[in-house]
Amino acid sequence: MIWRCRNRSIELTRPVVMGILNVTPDSFSDGGRYAHGGAAIDRAAALIAEGASIIDVGGESTRPGASAVDAAVEMERVVPVIERIASRFDVAVSVDTSKPEVMAAAVAAGASIVNDVYALRAPGARSWAASAGVGVCLMHMQGEPRTMQEDPRYDDVVAAVAGFLDAERRLCLAAGIDERAIVLDPGIGFGKRLAHNLTLLRELPRLATLGSPLLVGVSRKNLIGRVLGRGVGDRLYGGLGLAALAVGFGAKIIRTHDAGPTRDAILMASAVMQGAEE
């Protein structure tokens, strides 16, 4: 299984790590820590050394209650960082954005993947992605970041998420995006209560039948705190458990702040599920 991402092909026979690099002042876990260029590049280097196959650079927080950021500000944050990563390291770079103008600037700077919490629903996003040949991640979210956790409700969360992802995948295919360029993300923690999140994780095998690889992000999220009673900085072990479980249930890409421990956990889970050569 291959994820086609512009000038790169990412092998997904074994699960891979997407390392999170937030260059924002207000992200829920590491806001402000890597907002300056030198710290961001050092962090990218550390993620790569720990085994991240992809570095996901974000310039706008999507935590619950986050404020929107102007495209110009977002580009000022992400473009220099992407340029430096792409020029220094042999690694796939993803941009975490929903704005077509930021997508285009990031790809011109060296990114090959667009990770969009709005699933390319902005006007022109799908046609641009098709022409650029980028890899795309389509995520499900009920509502939008500022209000998504106020009162999320579903009759059947798995059916709702599966239906949305299938429909958006089909729209992307109709727009000319290569089938091999698409991965899907159920959006754990985005417009979902604890029970919704746990149900989605348990039912990942149903989502894995939609026809595209699954990306799952659970790193340091609130559901871990709710179950274990842990603060944001003390959720590593819970996240590793969920990452290994997600891979066992069919996920191919795990998005995380903690690349090294996550890589070990998911490769062990994969070895159990798929076997390993002697």
Q: Report pLDDT digits (tens) over 172-202.
A: 999 999 999 999 999 999 999 999 999 999 9
Quote the pLDDT of residue 150: 75
What range defines the domain where residue 266 resides? Answer: 2-271
Quote the pLDDT of residue 274: 87
Instruction: Give a yes or no: residue 82 inside a domain.
Output: yes
CB 116 within 8 A of CB 97: yes
CB 56 within 8 A of CB 264: no
As given in the structure block, the two tokens for residue 155 are: 């009759």
Q: What is the CATH number of the domain that holds 254?
A: 3.20.20.20
Instruction: Give a yes or no: residue 160 inside a domain.
Output: yes
Quote the pLDDT of residue 24: 82
Quote the pLDDT of residue 30: 47
Whether the per-residue pLDDT at 28 is higher than 50: the answer is no
Of 103-107, 232-236, 263-267, 274-278, the poorest mean pLDDT is in 274-278
Calculate mean pLDDT across residues 67-95. Answer: 93
Is 221 tagged catalytic? yes
As given in the structure block, the two tokens for residue 135 are: 């890899």
Q: Report pLDDT digits (tens) over 111-136.
A: 999 999 999 999 999 999 999 999 99
Calculate mean pLDDT across residues 31-55. Answer: 84
In a 13 Å sphere around the CA of 211, the CA atoms on its Cβ side amount to 14
Give the pLDDT band (50/70/90) at residue 13: very high
Q: Mean pLDDT over all residues of the chain?
A: 92
Partnered with residue 96 across adjacent β-strands are: 58, 115
Whether the per-residue pLDDT at 46 is higher than 50: the answer is yes
Instruction: Give a yes or no: residue 52 inside a domain.
Output: yes
The residue ranking higher by pLDDT, 10 or 25, is 10
Is 255 tagged catalytic? yes
Whether the per-residue pLDDT at 104 is higher than 90: the answer is yes
Integer angstrom CA distances of residue 83 from 3, 79, 114, 232, 259: 22, 6, 15, 30, 21
Instruction: Give a yes or no: residue 277 inside a domain.
Output: no
Instruction: Give a yes or no: residue 276 inside a domain.
Output: no
Calculate mean pLDDT across residues 86-94. Answer: 97
Whether the per-residue pLDDT at 237 is higher than 60: the answer is yes
Instruction: Give a yes or no: residue 145 inside a domain.
Output: yes
Whether the per-residue pLDDT at 259 is higher than 70: the answer is yes
Quote the pLDDT of residue 109: 97
Whether the per-residue pLDDT at 29 is higher than 80: the answer is no
Q: What percent of the chain has pLDDT over 70?
A: 93
To the nearest 10 degrees (0 to 180), the angle between helices 236-248 and 194-202 is 40
Instruction: Give a yes or no: residue 278 inside a domain.
Output: no
Task: Give the whole-angstrom CA distance, residue 153 versus residue 167.
Answer: 20
| Angle at 166 (CA atoms; ends 164, 168), nearest 5 degrees | 70
Choosing from 221, 235, 252, 263, the catalytic residue is: 221
Quote the pLDDT of residue 276: 64
Choosing from 4, 126, 235, 255, the catalytic residue is: 255
Instruction: Give the total number of structural domains in the chain.
Output: 1
